[in-house]
Amino acid sequence: MEKIETQKKTLTENLFENANLSRRSFLKVSAGTGVTAALITGIQPELKALAATGASGTNGKGQWLPATCQGCTSWCSKQVYVIDGRAVKVRGNPHSKVNLGAGCVRSHLAIQQLYDPDRIKVPMKRTNPKKGRNQDPKFVPITWDEALDTIADKIMELRDNNETHKYMLMRGRYSYLRDVLYDRMTKIIGSPNNISHSALCAEAEKFGPYYTEGYWGYRQYDVLKAHYILLWGADPLAANRQVSYYTKVWGDVADQATIAIIEPRLSASAGKADEWLPIIPGQDGALAAAIAHILLVEGLWYKPFLGDFVDGVNRFVPGETVAEEAFEENYTHGVVKWWNLELKDKTAEWAADVTGLTADQIRRVAEGFGNAAPHAISWVGGGPCMQVRGGYASMICHALNGLVGSVDNVGGTLKANKEYTKKFPKPDDFMDEIAKKGKKHEKIDQRGRLEFPSLKKGKSGGGVVTNNAADGILNEDPYEIKVAIGYMNNFAFSAPQPERWERALSKIPFLVHITTNASEFSWFSDIVLPDTHHMFEKWGYVKSIGNGYRHVTLMQPIVKNIGDYKIDETEIPWLIAEKLAERGFDNLLRHFKTYKDPETGMEPANEKEFALYALKYATQNLWDPAHYKGGDKFSGWEEFSKVGVWNSDPYPYRKRWGKMKTKTGMFEFYSETLKAALEKHAEKHNTTVDAVMEAANYLARGEKAFIPHYEEPFILGDEKEYPFVHVDHKSRLNREGRSANCTWYYDFKDLDPGEDLWDDVAKINPVDARKLGIQSGDRIRLSSVTGSLVCTAKLWEGVRPGTVAKCYGQGHWVYGRLASKTFGKEPRGGNNNDIIPAQYEALSGSSAYYGVTRIKIEKA
């Protein structure tokens, strides 16, 4: 027993011991907290534990402790400089082979998020029963006990009435401990409705790689060995992904590679590129088709991968069909079909008309790209894909990698390395009859219906249609939602046409929000629970790729909590499980107790132990030498938790050639995999693939549905009334729309090319602005068919005439004192989503953010 006690102490406190917290510094802190301290009783025991470590004074000296940043989905491993339990600075974790010790600018803002005075410190409940945008919820503080009792009562009501399917869990930013709250708890309560945010992210970007090379995931790019890098709507020096790694090596990459950026706006990466191709929004597929056409006509394909004509004579002549048997493919499938069905007429001149680029530039880029084969990367970002018809753009842009043989190759596009984390125990034995029956209902987002094929990993209804859940709730189709919990999500801000979410959330009789700040989503909630900040206060882990490696990086509580925060994914579900058990339903708690500490075999006794054991359980294969499977090796949990990151083995090049997870095992230009998926979906609905295409708002009919091809973009709004196409983009200071309450966000906003300090600008080409009589600094209103926003005009050459580029991130009307102009009433800046209609790339379920709406500009 004594041994176990000691061990527990080590596990939960070694980090704090390192920080040399003294009793004196602690008392000083508690004495000074005033009102806040009076409210916060929950952290007292932890404080005592810290003080009991008995270390001497620090003299203001701190220690670098391991952490993980989720400011964007780069998911870098970090270190935080902590003095007396207080975070001061952030830097990259030098132990990560993915980010190589490099930080990035947005990571620094995490400190201002951590110490945001407007973070909710204690649970709150609304006292105004009326819900709506103009209804102040009149939140008042309550105890955790009251909050949890209320939540448990509401869940029990559903169980008592056999309507557990009317429970819903909405997930936002997550760690891989997510399944506790997202999956297991939802299933054991008995609901099918675990709705993730994923389709607001970039699911469509995965569509192309999956239906060509059988990989549903984000890619990593072997940039240091590449000679040509073609970026489609990706801005790796500012936005996503592995910003830290690409930032670190880009200066060297530029020495040996030609860098070409396709984007209607001069992005941070475009500012440093060899070629900027300011394409007309939505026409990416046309450019990709032309590049493919040129590669084939000029014989620039990579023969060791693709193969060659049997007699070695190139028959890819513009306008002419080719006999399939004339070409012998090596590791690909259907290149001649692709040529015949799509590419043969897609000349540079044709594409120049469609894309607004010059034929010269298109040819120059295509030839440069082809001549660099196989060390040529076609880097497909969210831009071309997160559009209504972006699924096939994702496919055709990614297919270029097949032509030049850079898939899985040196200097090319790579998938994720192997890692060895474990799944949690299965919930099945803890699901009673009510739960099993409840789970069988259709999901609230209507995925898998004819118009939402959502073909994640080849399965009809395999992926979420996040934004459509609002309509499901509003129309009670398939049924009403009565009890819902959301965590670290803010669909009433981050989803296109958020006004739908305002109404949908108002309609839910009992809504809980787990969040750091009272956000737009919270505004409609009945109970708001104060969440931990992922980087400093939470147990968790995430996986990420870059530099030919994968890392698994830990999130740990490394600072003294100022508020009575609890961990969203572990502590809170445990506490709810306890309350449910008190009410006679102990299945969830019994399930959670199977997450035993791998070191001691002990089952968790409280929420804090549960959070830690869940993490140790999931990562055991990484740190337990007896379970070693590969990559970095540790002597045990203690060493792993101090280093904070595990690295995989290096990337094994070309291992997947001929063994891809497609129907044919090959890289498919004619996708048998997509054909099977579409046919299955059609069969489910007793119809044809053509009918599916029509329902999904695609133009392709017949065989074309199975190949990468160009589709005319679907853009809402009449051109006469709405003359400009809206271009949404992200800021290098955005922390997923959560940094707008940080002073540094505004004080450094001009780090984004074209942006201004302490303002939210719409970037307009001077040619267009002159016609409208608009000057920089004018207040303007941007309107689409679904909404409008007010911001400031900025005349800028870095934006294509006929388009208006506006950065996402501002326009909060709650969230905090800086984020909103008047909290609860008036936004600071404009939220792009207010003008983006709720439209979908239906084959992946994604929301369309780009090339989806026309807008007009008026003086405000």
Partner 1 sequence: MPRYAMVIDRQRCVGCGSCSIACRAENNLSEGVYWSHKITETSGVFPNVRFHYLPTLCNHCTNAPCVRGCPTRAMHKLENGITMHDPKKCIGCRYCMINCPYGVIYFNWKDGHQFWKDEHVLIEGATSSPAEEVRAAGGKTTPYYNPKNSKAPDIRPKGVVEKCTFCEHRVRKGLLPNCVEACPADARMFGDLDDPQSTLNQLLGKFKPFRLKEALGTDPAVFYIRDFSAANYPRTKGAA
CB of 787 to partner 1, least distance (A): 26
Residues between 122 and 141 that touch partner 1 (CB under 8 A): 122, 124, 139-141
Residues between 454 and 493 that touch partner 1 (CB under 8 A): none
Q: Which amino acid is at 650?
A: P
Residues between 649 and 708 that touch partner 1 (CB under 8 A): none
Number of residues assigned to the chain: 860
Among positions 51, 67, 226, 237, the unique one binding partner 1 when judged by CB under 8 A: 237
| By the rule CB under 8 A, 89 interacts with partner 1 | yes
Residues between 334 and 373 that touch partner 1 (CB under 8 A): 364
| By the rule CB under 8 A, 57 interacts with partner 1 | no
| By the rule CB under 8 A, 326 interacts with partner 1 | no
Nearer to partner 1, 566 or 656 (CB): 566
Nearer to partner 1, 124 or 612 (CB): 124
Take residue 817 and report the two structure tokens written for it: 């004192």
Cβ-Cβ contacts under 8 Å for 527 (sequence gap 6 or more):
123, 124, 125, 126, 142, 147, 150, 151, 511, 512, 513
Stretch in the footprint of partner 1 (CB under 8 A) among 209-217, 226-234, 268-276, 567-575:
268-276
Cβ-Cβ contacts under 8 Å for 551 (sequence gap 6 or more):
77, 96, 97, 98, 99, 543, 544, 545, 645, 646, 647, 648
Residue spans of beta strands (DSSP E) within 20-103: 63-68, 77-83, 86-92
CB 371 within 8 A of CB 295: no
Residues between 136 and 165 that touch partner 1 (CB under 8 A): 139-141
Take residue 727 and report the two structure tokens written for it: 């271009």
Stretch in the footprint of partner 1 (CB under 8 A) among 164-172, 299-307, 720-728, 747-755:
747-755
| By the rule CB under 8 A, 753 interacts with partner 1 | yes
Three-state SS for 660?
Answer: coil
Residues between 197 and 236 that touch partner 1 (CB under 8 A): none
Among positions 797, 826, 858, 859, the unique one binding partner 1 when judged by CB under 8 A: 797
Residues between 632 and 651 that touch partner 1 (CB under 8 A): none
CB of 622 to partner 1, least distance (A): 26
Q: Which of 821, 831, 807, 833 is nearest to 741 (CA)?
A: 821
| By the rule CB under 8 A, 518 interacts with partner 1 | yes
Among positions 216, 748, 840, 849, the unique one binding partner 1 when judged by CB under 8 A: 748
Nearer to partner 1, 132 or 824 (CB): 824
Nearer to partner 1, 254 or 860 (CB): 254
| By the rule CB under 8 A, 85 interacts with partner 1 | yes
Q: What are the φ/ψ torsions at residue 758 (nearest 5 degrees)?
A: 45, 40
Stretch in the footprint of partner 1 (CB under 8 A) among 262-270, 304-312, 676-684, 705-713:
262-270
Residues touching partner 1, count (CB under 8 A): 87
| By the rule CB under 8 A, 273 interacts with partner 1 | yes
Q: What are the φ/ψ torsions at residue 229 (nearest 5 degrees)?
A: -130, 120
DSSP 8-state code for residue 761: E
| By the rule CB under 8 A, 56 interacts with partner 1 | no
Stretch in the footprint of partner 1 (CB under 8 A) among 162-170, 548-556, 660-668, 795-803:
795-803
Q: What are the φ/ψ torsions at residue 184 (nearest 5 degrees)?
A: -65, -50
Q: Which amino acid is at 511?
A: L
Stretch in the footprint of partner 1 (CB under 8 A) among 78-86, 329-337, 427-435, 694-702:
78-86
Q: Which of 500, 493, 502, 495 is nearest to 525 (CA)?
A: 502
| By the rule CB under 8 A, 36 interacts with partner 1 | yes
Among positions 129, 251, 584, 601, the unique one binding partner 1 when judged by CB under 8 A: 251
**Cβ neighbour number for residue 215 with a 10 Å cutoff:** 24
Cis peptide before 500 (omega within 30 of 0): no
Nearer to partner 1, 395 or 518 (CB): 518
State how far the Cα of 460 lies from the Cα of 439, in Å rounded to an integer.
Answer: 18
Nearer to partner 1, 316 or 813 (CB): 813
State how far the Cα of 594 lies from the Cα of 310, in Å rounded to an integer.
Answer: 61
Site string for partner 1, 419-458 (x = CB under 8 A): ----------------------------------------
What sections of 265-314 are H helices per DSSP?
A: 284-297, 303-306
CB 618 within 8 A of CB 176: yes
Take residue 29 and report the two structure tokens written for it: 């802190």
| By the rule CB under 8 A, 113 interacts with partner 1 | no
| By the rule CB under 8 A, 34 interacts with partner 1 | yes
Nearer to partner 1, 112 or 135 (CB): 112
| By the rule CB under 8 A, 274 interacts with partner 1 | yes
Stretch in the footprint of partner 1 (CB under 8 A) among 398-406, 618-626, 714-722, 792-800:
792-800
| By the rule CB under 8 A, 88 interacts with partner 1 | yes
CB of 487 to partner 1, least distance (A): 18
Among positions 465, 535, 562, 790, the unique one binding partner 1 when judged by CB under 8 A: 562
| By the rule CB under 8 A, 792 interacts with partner 1 | no
Nearer to partner 1, 270 or 611 (CB): 270
Site string for partner 1, 830-849 (x = CB under 8 A): --------------------
Strand ranges of the sheet holding 540-546, from the earlier edge strand across to the other edge = 540-546, 549-555, 645-647
In the 3-class helix/strand/coil scheme, how is 680-723 assigned residue by residue? HHHHHCCCCHHHHHHHCCCCCCHHHHHCCCCCCCCCECCCCCCC
Q: Which helix (H) or strand (E) is 16 found in, with range?
A: helix 2-18
Q: Which helix (H) or strand (E) is 795 found in, with range?
A: strand 788-795
CB of 710 to partner 1, least distance (A): 22
| By the rule CB under 8 A, 103 interacts with partner 1 | yes
Nearer to partner 1, 562 or 689 (CB): 562
Scored b (16 or more CB within 10 A) or e, 142-180 reads: bebeebbebbbebbbebbeeebbbbbbbbbbbbbbbbbb
Residues between 759 and 788 that touch partner 1 (CB under 8 A): 765, 767
Nearer to partner 1, 247 or 544 (CB): 247
Among positions 148, 177, 234, 270, the unique one binding partner 1 when judged by CB under 8 A: 270
State how far the Cα of 655 lies from the Cα of 462, in Å rounded to an integer.
Answer: 27
CB 421 within 8 A of CB 630: no
State how far the Cα of 633 lies from the Cα of 652, in Å rounded to an integer.
Answer: 19
Cβ-Cβ contacts under 8 Å for 476 (sequence gap 6 or more):
none
CB of 251 to partner 1, least distance (A): 3
